[in-house]
Structure formats: C-alpha cells, structure tokens
Structure 1
Amino acid sequence: MTLKTRINEDVKAAMRARDAKTLSTLRLLLAAIKQREVDERITLDDDAIVAVIGKMLKQRRDSITQYAAAGRKDLADAEQFESELLGAYLPASLSTEEIVEAVAQAIAETGAASPADMGKVMAQLRPGLAGRADMSEVSRLVKMRLVAGA
C-alpha cells in the first residue's frame, strides 16, 4: 500500500469515527500533497510525500516553540497533536550512531575536506536520510566533521 493510499484510508476511518481533529490534520496533509502535485504537474511517490510531511513537521515544531514562548499552551498542544499524527507516517528514525556513520561515509565518498564542500556532502546524504533524520542535526554533524578535518 502506498503512503498516499494509507493516508486516504485513514481519512475514511477518521470520518467513520467522527474524529474531527485527526480528520482535519489528515485533510491538511492531503491538501499539501495535492498542492505540490498541481504545482509541479506530477504524481508524488512515497519519498516525495515523506518530504512534504517533513516540511509540515518542521512547521509544527517551529509553531510549538513560538506558542510555548507566548504562553499559548492550548495552541502548542494542538500543534503537538498534529506533529505526532504526521510523524506516524514517516519511516523509522535513524539512531545517532547510524547518522554519524552515514555522515562519515558521505564525507569519504565525496572526498570533502573543508566546510566549503558541505553542499556536496549534504546532497549525497539528503536522499537517504530525508524523513528518517532531522536534516538540521545532520547538517550540524557534517559541519562539525568538516571543520574538525580542516
């Protein structure tokens, strides 16, 4: 079953269960997927859908931080619920050790020697780690390794 099919089935289940919060979040996700398909005139595969979900999760994390800082626990809780629901559609996250190993391998494969080569390393890592690791954390690890190596 494709990820898009799974999301559509979950929308139907939420409708049957009259779960308004889940239904609303899943409809937002389907709208984001549809918008990207229309904009790019393509049908998204599972990897592209994972990228859409990752972008939505990043937005939710930023919103949670802002709402918490503003003292709006009700809004932060709503964003947290959406974040958890969307996160269920992502593949299993990689451990820190696996990410460090992937970074080391990508640096070796690209022959990166300085922070100026960071773009090459990230381009090598992005397809394999997108949706399975926090890319800002991956970027931080790459930068640390390249600075230490320079």
Structure 2
Amino acid sequence: MSTRIEIPVHLRWSDMDAYGHVNNVDMMRLLEIARIEAFWASETSTHHTGILDASPGSATATFVARQEIEYLKPLTYKRAPIIVELWIGHIGGASLDVCYIIRDDTHDGSTPTIYAQAITTIVLVETATNTPRRISAQERETWLPYVDFPVKLRHRRRSN
C-alpha cells in the first residue's frame, strides 16, 4: 500500500455559499492549496514530496489539464481544519494524476465523514518554451511511494 499525504486546510467563512456549505469553486481552491503544499518546493513545507519549483519565474510551471470532483456530502463551516488526503493515481511522461479525498480530521479513531473525492491531471511545463517537460528521475523516485490506485468516481449515465 502506498503512503498518502494529509494536508490540514482551514475553511474560511467566505467559502460558504447561500446554502451554507462550501461553494464548488472553493472546493477546487481547497484542492489547489493542498496540492501546492504537497508538491511545490518551499522553505516552510513539511513534506519531502514538495520538490517542484513552480513559483513565479521558475523553469517549471504546473498546468491543470483536467479536473473532476465528485461531491458526496455538503461541507459546512468548521473551525477545525478539514483534511485533504492526496496520493498519485498515475505518473506519466510529463503529467501526473493527483487523487484526493476531502474529509474530517478524526483524532478519536472514529470513521471520518468524506465530503468529496477528486482527480486532477497536472502537466509539467517548461516555462522557457511553454511546452510539456518530462518528469525527472528524481521527481519520479520521490513520488513513487505515493502512487496508488486512482479514485473511483461514479460516471454519469449517458442518454442516447
């Protein structure tokens, strides 16, 4: 079994919509916050997986090629941080699929409530040429322990 990265993220009151739960756009922001914390290099990052220098002006940019989210329960405002659990569902030549579960943080061993699950395909881009770049051997080696089966999303029924 792979290792998963757990990123605590605090909700903001402004994340709520008129129905009293986290707005769908802000759910994507929660994923982005966790993804940056997990994979971007930073002096403050506590995760050794944070090796991408994708800050402004760096040689690499990370572009979202695809993003899909499945909402399972409404997420209402909480003072305690929620947990965004991340792992890699696939490492390709220049891209990777980041998988997520957004859930409660449970300290008492109880079963957490899962609010959403998602997959984001990230493409590494060389900023000088604005073209995809290969994932380096160091990046691949660092991320391999975090590769596991991708999230299983329900698919829509298509009408004929």
So what's the TM-score if we normalise by structure 1? Answer: 0.26
Which protein has the bigger strand share? 2
Greater RCO (CA < 8 Å, at least 6 residues apart): 2
Which protein has the bigger helix share? 1
